[in-house]
Amino acid sequence: MSELVFFCGTMDCGKSTLALQIEHNRSARGLQGMIFTRDDRAGEGKLSSRLGLVTDAVEVTDGMDLYAYLVEHLSQGGRADYVIADEAQFLAPEQIDQLARVVDDLGLDVYAFGITTDFRTKLFPGSQRLVELADRVEVLQVEALCWCGARATHNARTVGGQMVVEGAQVVVGDVNQADTVGYEVLCRRHHRRRMTAASAHAAALSPDVLPVSPA
């Protein structure tokens, strides 16, 4: 029985690495995957991991029908034994419905990988639809750690090193600018306190702040 599986977690939890591992394991058995991604860090039409591995992928665009794309691919003699959708948080809810239809009507396994919540702790629309539709949701427990050492469960956005909780859901920063947008994974406690590694370091150096127990 084919299924729609949603592998989710924070940034840096190893989603893309697992996606590449699944792709590797199946291609070693002679299977061929259709790989979709959107806005990967390595650029258009790439699925990459922070560990430096990369493979070619089909870049998903606004309004693209993923079900129709696969039907067209198969009808032209193309092959697809399974489907991987990386950066699935960036897909539109209707594109997640199309992936569910790929499972049900084409009988293919679909493995979707995505960040669950944004920097405001709200579900991405694509991730929400996956939680609603998936046969199985696997929360990746690769230990992304907060600066305090606790398991990082939340994504923070920083602007100029300071955590922000307002702004557009998707912003890709320019790393060379002083007001650069950055991202950092935190535990919930420090997400709530808006305490990033940089601000914790600054606070620790400040004579105004009394030392506190790490507990």
| 98 assigned ligand-binding residue | no
| 185 assigned ligand-binding residue | no
Closer residue to Zn ion (CB): 88 or 186:
186
Q: What is the 3-state secondary structure (H, E, C) of the chain?
A: CCCEEEEEECCCCCHHHHHHHHHHHHHHCCCCEEEEECCCCCCCCEEECCCCCEEECEECCCCCCHHHHHHHHHHCCCCCCEEEECCHHHCCHHHHHHHHHHHHHHCCEEEEEEECECCCCCECHHHHHHHHHCCEEEECCCCCECCCCCECCEEEEEECCEEECCCCCCCCCCCCCCCCEEEEEECHHHHHCCCCHHHHHHHHHCCCCCCCCCC
Dihedrals phi, psi of 72, to nearest 5 degrees: -65, -45
| 183 assigned ligand-binding residue | yes
- Closest contact distance (angstroms) between CB of 145 and Zn ion is 8
User: Residue 83's beta-bridge partner residues?
Assistant: 34, 110
| 88 assigned ligand-binding residue | yes
- Closest contact distance (angstroms) between CB of 120 and Zn ion is 18
Looking up tokens 């990082």 gives 152
- Closest contact distance (angstroms) between CB of 146 and Zn ion is 3
Q: Residues in the site for Zn ion, rule: CB under 5 A?
A: 146, 148, 150, 187, 190
Closer residue to Zn ion (CB): 148 or 164:
148
Of these residues, 23, 59, 87, 94, which one is catalytic? Answer: 87
Closer residue to Zn ion (CB): 5 or 187:
187
| 15 assigned ligand-binding residue | yes
- Closest contact distance (angstroms) between CB of 123 and Zn ion is 22
Closer residue to Zn ion (CB): 163 or 187:
187
Dihedrals phi, psi of 46, to nearest 5 degrees: -130, 145
166 carries an active-site annotation? no
Cα gap 208→206, rounded to integer Å: 5
**Which positions are catalytic?**
87
Indicate the annotated binding residues for substrate.
Answer: 170-173, 183
